[in-house]
Amino acid sequence: MADKGLSESPEKQQGETDKTTSKDGLFLYNGGLYPAIISSPETLKLLHTFKARKDDVVLVGYAKTGTNWVAQMLLELEAASGKYDEEEKKQRKQQLEELKIAPYLEFGDPGKFERMEKLPSRRLIKTHLIPHKIPRSIFEQKAKMLVLFRNPKDTAVSYYHFSQGMRLIPNKQPWDTFFSDFINGKVPYGVYLDHIIAWNKYIDDKNIMFVTYEELKENTTLGLKKMANFFEFSVTDQDIQAIIEKTSFKAMKEKGSETHGMAAKSLFRKGIVGDWKSLFTEEQSKEMDRRFEECAAHTKIGQMLKYDVYCKN
């Protein structure tokens, strides 16, 4: 079965010209929507200048699929492997702040890519981008990538609540409006299922590890061990247990204001599987089922998501 897109691209929906709209705080660049408050066309134009390193730790995930949680796991794995004490971890974080390095590749000012070269190895590189928009140097250097997915219904609900608390996309809109925007790609990063289709082409790439939010929730210990092995982090079972405690939802929420500032309240809401049932109507659920079946169910990543387990009543 041929891969299918789910909707017309935002470029076709909104016209061929890249633009920033003051109405909703989004801008269109190269066919994709981005939040103007944390990104800019100037930054995206220079994405190709990012110089990857072979030992970079790259985390990729569509918005609200669990990237903040998994990023903290990776930071803790690196710290345990490098035997960093708390002071060393604090210094590395402070360096990020001093260099004003925004947390995701596509965020921040255009000069960030040059400043990132001053960061010590191993660098944690995060992005929400679809593969063809990721800097080529990452693939050319064969930097290892962890690509994260989450069931689409929970992703939509988490994204909706996030949009209500943050001024990154049109907020305070009704769920029904957001759902329509989400499935039609009128939110930053476009149609989520298109990311599944795009990444499925890399399913056999030995430098890419695919993981789901749900499997990490089911067995965090196993997930951490797989990540450690993939990125060649040398950690003990004792390290793994300590990391599980440090990266529990409760622990991360308690330290949220310290690690993520004002965004913490929106970032750390519930951290559960199955919350989609709190908002999806029967009609919306069937619509998502139909689109998933049509476009992603046949892919290996689609099968990894165990859609029938997590997205059916």
Cα gap 290→71, rounded to integer Å: 32
Catalytic entry in 48, 128, 132, 298: 128
Helix (H) or strand (E) holding 62: none
Return d(Cα 248, Cα 257) in angstroms, integer. Answer: 15
Contacts 24+ apart (CB under 8 A), 178-186: 179/280, 179/284, 182/156, 183/6, 183/7, 183/156, 183/287, 183/288, 183/291, 184/6, 184/7, 184/13, 185/6, 185/7, 185/9, 185/10, 185/13, 185/33, 186/10, 186/13, 186/33
Do 41 and 108 contact (CB within 8 A), yes or no?
A: no
Active site residue 128: yes
Q: Which two tokens stand for residue 187?
A: 């939110």
CA angle 133, 162, 287 (to 5 degrees): 75
Residue 261 is given by DSSP the state: G
Distance from C-alpha of 231 to C-alpha of 233, rounded to nearest angstrom: 6
On the CB side of 196, CA atoms within 13 Å amount to 30
Q: How far apart are CA 158 and CA 279, in angstroms?
A: 10
Cβ atoms of residues 213 and 25 within 8 Å: no
* Residues contacting 286, CB < 8 A, separation 6+: none
List the catalytic residues.
128
